[in-house]
Structure 1
Amino acid sequence: MPMPQITITTLLPVIFALTLILPLSACTGSADLPDTAPAPAATAGLTTPDSEANNQATIQQVDINLMESFPVQVNVRIAGSLPNSCVVLNGFNTVQTNHEFVISAATTYQTGGNCAEQLQPFDQMVSLPVVGLPAGTYTVTVEGANSVSNSFALAVDNVAPQAPQVEPDSAAISGIVWEDTCRVLADGAIEGACVSDGQGGYRADGIFDNAEARIPDIEVTLSAGPCSNAGSVLSATATDAAGTYLFGRLQPGEYCVAVDAESAGNAGRLLPGGWTYPGVNVSSTTVTLAENGYQAADFGWNRGPAVAPDSGGSAVSCRDEALFVADVTIPDGTVLAAGEAFEKTWRLQNTGSCTWGPDYSLVFAGGDSMSGPERLPLTQVVKPGETLDVSVQLVAPAAAGVYRSDWQLRSGDGYRFGSGGESPFYAQIEVE
């Protein structure tokens, strides 16, 4: 059978019909197809930053620490959290109005990346400008996404004593000897500025205020060199009617200022009792004088005992205790060259119930100081159970031999403690 011939004229109606049907089919099927490529699935626990996110800090705790000094220094410990990893804490802005401090958390939101949706904790210390403030109670409010307040009191005007007039072309050391009061009354009430002694009792706080009496006629001695290796006594003087002494016309260098409570001239005026400043049972302090400089060296004395644990006073809030864990650097017996500088680091664990902060210090406790500082404040907060690597810069002595330098920790209220009680941790070296 012959095939029928199909001409272009015959196909035109068919082609025209298809051109109408195909576009209609495409439009009616578009409801089942996406107009654009699907968005990528979000990663679990992450969000994309945007400019409207809450970028403030949540304040959880505000603690106030009064440092052992005069004028008093006040540090505020602020603990809290940030909402996610894109919020950055840039610091705190402090504004004082009369008897109120307002500390505002300054945060920024970093855009352009993913943010972990989990709280970011922070723990910061802020110093308050309190020198020169009058006595009274002050409120501290820390503001962020919320606000938390606390307060502190200045017992006396927080004004630094004026340095004595020093003769031209000379340096001087001056200070006071004062009675640091803390005692228990017959009804068990505590009178004076008492703090925990870390052993279940109480003692005077080691901070001078104008309400406390100064002690006249106390002999004070001056020796050349640091107290750990002081030479013979260069000079001796006595406190005047205002409890003040002065060593003038001094050359630059290191000196040891000391008060011997058991000396013939001092025993009748001081004993019984004990030193509370420059440290608990510490009767001397090393002073470094610059050319034409002036340094203060004060001594606080408590006619103890203060308050016994069973005297009816309130319970001790926490206990200071440490444990030596390891020598991180310079193990005992390390051989060093004469005059060689080195860094000694110990690892300690806080085995007490008090939290260590910037008001705690590493302090020299005996032996050879190896040119180390008398006191070195801690730079971080260490909670009970946590460990701390604490370091000090030392220098090997010039002569050959075996040397040991003893160190302890000191709390903000002056209580000294070492490993397992009062035992010092130490650096022991051999000098060739």
Structure 2
Amino acid sequence: MIRNSINKPTYGRLGLLLLLTGVLALLVACGGGAEPAATPTSAPTATPTIAGSNEPTRGQAVVNAIDILIMESFPVQVSVMARGDLPDSCTQIDEIITQQADNTFRVAVTTLRQPDQICTQALVPFEQSISLDVAGLPAGTYDVVVNGVTGSFTLEVDNVPVDDTTGAGAGGGPPGISGFVWHDLCPQTGTAPGDAAPDEGCIPSAAGDTLQADGEMAAGEPGIPGVTVRLLAGDCTTAAEGDELAATTDESGAFRFEDISADTYCVFLDTADADNAAILGEGVLTFPVSNGVATNSITVTLDEGAALTDVNFGFDFRFLPVPETVENCTNSFEFVQDLTVPDDTVFPPGETFEAGWRLRNNGTCPWTTDYAVAFIGGDAMGITTTVPLESAVTPGQTEDVSIFLTAPETPGTYRSNWQLADAAGTVFGINGAIEDAFWVQIVVEEGAAPVGTPSPGSASIGGVVWEDLCFLTNGTASRGCVETEEGSGFYRGNGVFDDNESALAGITLVLGQGACPPGGIIETANRLATTLSGEDGLYVFEGLDAGIYCVSIDALSPENVDLLIPGNWTWPAPGTGRSGLRLAAGQQRLDVDFGWDFQD
């Protein structure tokens, strides 16, 4: 075992004895309130004085030194021993919060002190062991920061067992090579990351433009029968098709190669093969993974008399096999956003334009290609027929629909109303309501310049960062509080920028290229820009092209920790300080807001 010991400089001791007054509480995630306005009036207001002393006091522990312990096993395990002082005998260690960004682990050790206790007013030493998740990390030097005390450790080699990336493992059973081809489930496959938080089993794709399945074989995920898997002699980088063996998956998705000699082989699933393509259709492989990207082949080495199992392939159908229409299912959709023509866009007479919308199937009926976009009233603008959907859409998925319209010849304001129609031609509106439609509204003016494609770099993202007030007075929740769970007695801010709340200035925001990573910490290589919220809490990233972006606020970063901790996010979702979105060319998204609830 290797030990790295780091002590805090003496000059920092007194300052660190000043405890912060709260903790980054990891609250149960639940739906936020109504979305706050894009550019709210945010004149500062005085923070209320919280009466009474019957609430627990939370803070950060004073850490004087850390030891980093490296267990010389493989994979390597790393833990941190933090040593410090609690201010009195009534204060206890509460939570350990760990985040990793690039090559840095940041750890917050928080404290809890119950009210109305008789305590010994003397420093109480403590030791706290903290495990770091280093599985899968590449070789390199990593920094560790625990409540301001910094240390480091070095991994001499990649901390990744070979079998973790290929999925191949030695197992019992008859000699040979076996595995499964399974349906890696994600109900949001094809959905843009910014349109919805990933459900369980879904992650952003490597390109960051859509959600897809996570590459992990979970209980209940079915096998895919009838798929042909091939076995080629040699390493996958040099093996050539020709003299190979083939195995077909059974009803459970299992395949097996038997009676083969000890050697190196390439196990290969050709998704472009005509027979396989007929079964798999459109979709992507999610497992195995090589260099962060899913691949269709695995190199394995078979020893004499050995059995290699779990040589698996995960496949995520781009369009889930559309289930049979359930009797008495519900047709309904949610309007997500306009894609091409904002309301009251000005066109010259007779100009043709494309109107597009993003919709989410929030009903229980799958939409087949017999479903269509249907004109239901208003100004026809050149089309009154239905436009069939281009692909099937299962419940939970989003679909982009568009139609080509022509501006009328007479100046004026025009609006065209649309809904969806099922296979029988029955129309239905937003949330299933027959009276609710989506529309495009334009203004026709003589002499108006033709509406061209927005120029590159003309899009922007912005919003406001505000303090989402919630406090207790003698156990009674203030205005603007919501219970984290019904009957729990725990409260947070409601996720709405109310008129008694104030802006947060000087908060550092990071703009990243691609979908937000699961932990919310944008890797350095993907960072495009940083900015600070102004005195009015507003921020903006300008000069952007169309694409997928992530706006993130890291509450534990050195720039933000003293401004935000202790507390937690209430908007865009409880505990979530990041927002992913797809930006169209020239689009102005100035409603990407962040609400923070200080936990006093």
TM-score range, shorter chain: 0.3 to 0.5
TM-score by length of 1: 0.37
Structure ID, larger Rg: 1
Q: Which has the higher contact order (CA 8 A, sep 6+)?
A: 2
